[in-house]
Structure 1
Amino acid sequence: MANFKGHALPGSFFLLFGLWWSVKLPLKYFHQMGLKRSRLSQQQQRIEIIEGAIKTLFAVIGILAEQFVPDGPHLHLYNENHWIKLMNWQHSTMYLFFGVSGIIDMLTYLYFNIVPLGLDRLVLAIAVFSEGFLFLFHVHNRPPLDQHIHSLLLFGLFGGCVSISLEVIFRDNIVLELFRTSLLIFQGTWFWQIGFVLFSPFGTEWDQKDMDNIMFITMCFCWHYLVALCIVAINYTLVYCFLTRVKRSTEGEIIGIQKLKSDHTYQSALLSGSDEE
């Protein structure tokens, strides 16, 4: 949809997944540092299956929104010698690839003995690459600011594609995972930024040919990614502090129980000794 809602919808999806990953991935990393791996793997399996299902659901919602809005193509691609709403079809294609990625996520963790390890990451990398490829040819013959703000999105998309591709080989690498997360958060906020600039809900219009606007948007790109990095860093720190606190309280309870058992054993021994005398 070439309007504000059409950019806010995918932006919200990407932002929600990015925020979720910024909590889930540090949790997984710190658990793998030394907690119960066997129990964690089963729990992680369920979480990944649910995540894949939600990703697929989001993709289906996106496709339906693009196709069946009042001015949408309604699954008609070609009619009377002309293409119908190709902008909506491009967005639908983007959602389609992420839907396939969600299905592969579910299959990977449902049939982990059959599906090759790393296939979920590979398909996700393909989905991100397809999104970037579509946007690369998305804004030809459009105003300079429109072209520029979409081209900046490509840096995040192709950077994410490279990072996720490396995860196929270096699986569970926390640095690559957090980098991917920061780019996803950036992508979500940047879709909102595109909506506000090109289709402002407040009625204010940006001059699409003003170079100052282009310079500001370039600077704004850096601010968005800095905010994404800060969100990842803050959530990583909060997860670490939370797990450390839980671990200390658990160890304190164990020590208290052991002390009570020790005192009880000592008292029993004293009573036994006094009876014998």
Structure 2
Amino acid sequence: MPTTFLGSALRGTCFFIFGFWWSVRYPLKYLRRKANAESQPSHGIQRVEVFEGAVKAFFALAGILVEQFVPAGPHLQLYSPKTHSWTDLTHWHYTTMYLFFLLSGIVDIVSHSPLKLPPGLDRLSLSVALFIEGLLFCFRGDSDAALDHHVHSLLAVAVFAGALCALLEVFLRDHIILEIFRTSSFLLQGSWLWQIGFVLSPPWGGPGWDQTDQGNFAFLTVCFCWHYAGVLAVLAANSAASRCCNENCQLKFGDIDVELDCSMCIRKSSKSSGALLPESPSDDK
């Protein structure tokens, strides 16, 4: 079954949402951790991790149901005894990919539960899910078109980069460089999946790009680099916005603390001065 624009766009949107959220969250977490070097991870951060895992699991489960039960889907039938052939393996490829992201989301949730799983298991499960995704995209067998293989091979570069980064995070937890690099891989996956939809199955209908034009191969390789340049621009803008937001919040809370301290000092000084005043003559009478 050929790639559809809607399916590619939906998958790209999911990856881009996670990447965009991380591009704001990780710089903020780094700045606040840097300001409070001795502070321990708060319950708020753990709740965010659980929320991310729940959203990831929800997206993955929805993807599995859509891939299996759309009108043209296999409806959980892997092999057709009538035709003696496999049934819609493209849907099964995406179902397998979503299955591992579903497991990754579940591990994210359980990692912050009272079960106390080994630290780093959530990043390991994410790395495995990304590796499976890249493996499935590398060995797509639903199309013999060279351009189709080329755009998905470029996508696999971003996927495997994210998988390697998540694997390193198992041993280097809360490393801002690795977190930002993983974020960039998710943003790149999201934008490139949209590009794949426009190349192979344009939303306005008609055939996709010419599969035999060598110029398309060269341009799409350059275009992939442009996508990553755009991703870096998004990361830079969100990091700068996060820094400004963090400084403004600290300044605001700092002003409140100063005002509270001043008011407390005024009250203390008034009490102490009242206690040191000599008794009036009326009191002697």
- TM-score per shorter chain, which class? over 0.9
Aligned residue number for residue 174 of structure 1:
176
1:50 partnered with 2:63: no
1:240 partnered with 2:243: yes
CA offset at residue 274 of structure 1?
3.9
In 2, distance between residues paired with 1:212 and 1:164?
Answer: 35
Amino acid in structure 2 at the alignment position of 1:207: D
Q: Which has the larger radius of gyration?
A: 2
1:49-68 to 2 correspondence within 5 Å? 49-68=50-69
Residue ranges of structure 1 left out of the alignment (5+ in a row): none
- 3-state SS in 2 of match to 1:125: helix
Aligned counterpart in structure 2 of residue 258 of structure 1, from 256, 261, 282: 261
Aligned residue number for residue 163 of structure 2:
161
In 1, distance between residues paired with 2:63 and 2:150?
Answer: 25
Aligned residue number for residue 108 of structure 2:
105
Structure 1 length-normalised TM? 0.94
Matched positions, count: 275
Aligned counterpart in structure 1 of residue 120 of structure 2, from 109, 118, 121: 118
| Alpha carbons 1:53, 1:102 under 8 Å: kept | yes
CA offset at residue 110 of structure 1?
0.9
- 3-state SS in 2 of match to 1:56: helix
Amino acid in structure 1 at the alignment position of 2:11: P
Q: Flag the 1:248–1:116 CA change in 2: closer, same or farther, 3 A.
A: same
1:14 partnered with 2:15: yes
| Alpha carbons 1:10, 1:188 under 8 Å: kept | yes
Amino acid in structure 2 at the alignment position of 1:32: R
| Alpha carbons 1:139, 1:150 under 8 Å: kept | no
| Alpha carbons 1:140, 1:147 under 8 Å: kept | no
Identity %: 43
Amino acid in structure 1 at the alignment position of 2:51: I
CA offset at residue 240 of structure 1?
1.3
Aligned residue number for residue 41 of structure 1:
42
| Alpha carbons 2:90, 2:142 under 8 Å: kept | no
Q: CA RMSD in A?
A: 1.7
| Alpha carbons 1:153, 1:187 under 8 Å: kept | yes
- 3-state SS in 1 of match to 2:27: helix
CA offset at residue 141 of structure 1?
5.5
- Which segment drifts farther, 118-127 or 142-151? 142-151
Aligned counterpart in structure 2 of residue 197 of structure 1, from 176, 180, 199: 199
CA offset at residue 112 of structure 1?
5.7
Structure 2 length-normalised TM? 0.91
In 2, distance between residues paired with 1:176 and 1:51?
Answer: 18
CA offset at residue 255 of structure 1?
1.4
Residue ranges of structure 2 left out of the alignment (5+ in a row): 281-285
- Which segment drifts farther, 143-152 or 23-32? 23-32
In 2, distance between residues paired with 1:139 and 1:227?
Answer: 31
Q: Flag the 1:139–1:216 CA change in 2: closer, same or farther, 3 A.
A: farther
In 1, distance between residues paired with 2:98 and 2:69?
Answer: 14
